[in-house]
A = this chain, B = another copy of it.
Amino acid sequence: MEIGFIGLGQMGSAMAANLLKAGHVVTVYNRNQSKADGLVAAGAKRAVDAAGACKGQLVFSMLADDAAVEAVTFGERGILAGLGPDGIHVSSSTISVEMAKRLAAAHGEAGQRYLSAPVFGRPEAAAAAKLFVVVAGAPAAVEICRPLLETLGQRVFPIAEQPEAANLVKLSGNFLIFSVIEAVGEAMALVSKAGIDRRAYLDILTSTLFNSPIYATYGALIADRTFEPARFAAPLGSKDLRLALAAANDLEVPMPVASLIHDRFLRLLAGGGDKMDVAALGGMALEDAGL
Interface, chain A (partner B; CB < 8 A): 97, 120, 132, 134, 155, 157, 159-160, 162, 164-165, 168-169, 172-173, 175-177, 179-180, 182-184, 186-187, 189-191, 193-196, 200-201, 203-205, 207-215, 242, 244, 247-249, 251-260, 262-264, 266-267, 269-272, 285, 288-290
Q: Nearest Cβ distance between residue A112 and chain B, in whole angstroms?
A: 24
Given the complex, which residues of B lie within 8 Å of A97, measured CB to CB? 194
Given the complex, which residues of B lie within 8 Å of A176, measured CB to CB? 183-184, 187, 205, 209-210
Q: Which of B160, B173, B203 contacts A205 (CB 8 A)?
A: B173
Q: Nearest Cβ distance between residue A232 and chain B, in whole angstroms?
A: 12
List 5 A-B pairs, Cβ < 8 Å: A176-B184, A176-B210, A212-B212, A248-B266, A249-B266
Q: Which of B191, B215, B256 contacts A260 (CB 8 A)?
A: B256
Question: Given contacts A186-B258, A204-B134, A257-B186, are A160 and B266 in contact (CB under 8 A)?
Answer: no
Complex-state Cα separation, A107 to B272, whole angstroms: 35
- Residue contact B157 to A253, C-beta cutoff 8 Å: no
Q: Which of B204, B255, B267 contacts A190 (CB 8 A)?
A: B255
Complex-state Cα separation, A77 to B192, whole angstroms: 38
Given the complex, which residues of B lie within 8 Å of A193, measured CB to CB? 251-253
Q: Which of B134, B160, B172, B215 contacts A187 (CB 8 A)?
A: B172
- Residue contact B175 to A186, C-beta cutoff 8 Å: yes
Q: Nearest Cβ distance between residue A28 and chain B, in whole angstroms?
A: 27
Complex-state Cα separation, A256 to B281, whole angstroms: 12
Question: Given contacts A200-B159, A249-B266, A289-B252, are A183 and B175 in contact (CB under 8 A)?
Answer: yes
- Residue contact A256 to B263, C-beta cutoff 8 Å: yes
Q: Nearest Cβ distance between residue A163 and chain B, in whole angstroms?
A: 12
Q: Nearest Cβ distance between residue A147 and chain B, in whole angstroms?
A: 20
Q: Which of B242, B255, B258, B289 contacts A251 (CB 8 A)?
A: B289
Given the complex, which residues of B lie within 8 Å of A215, measured CB to CB? 212
Q: Nearest Cβ distance between residue A134 and chain B, in whole angstroms?
A: 6
Complex-state Cα separation, A165 to B197, whole angstroms: 10
Complex-state Cα separation, A78 to B102, whole angstroms: 27
Given the complex, which residues of B lie within 8 Å of A191, measured CB to CB? 165, 168-169, 172
Given the complex, which residues of B lie within 8 Å of A256, measured CB to CB? 186, 256, 259-260, 263
Given the complex, which residues of B lie within 8 Å of A212, measured CB to CB? 209-212, 215
Given the complex, which residues of B lie within 8 Å of A288, measured CB to CB? 253-254, 266-267, 270-271
Given the complex, which residues of B lie within 8 Å of A169, measured CB to CB? 191, 196, 201, 204
Question: Given contacts A183-B175, A194-B247, are A272 and B290 in contact (CB under 8 A)?
Answer: yes
Closest to A207 in B: B155
Q: Nearest Cβ distance between residue A212 and chain B, in whole angstroms?
A: 4
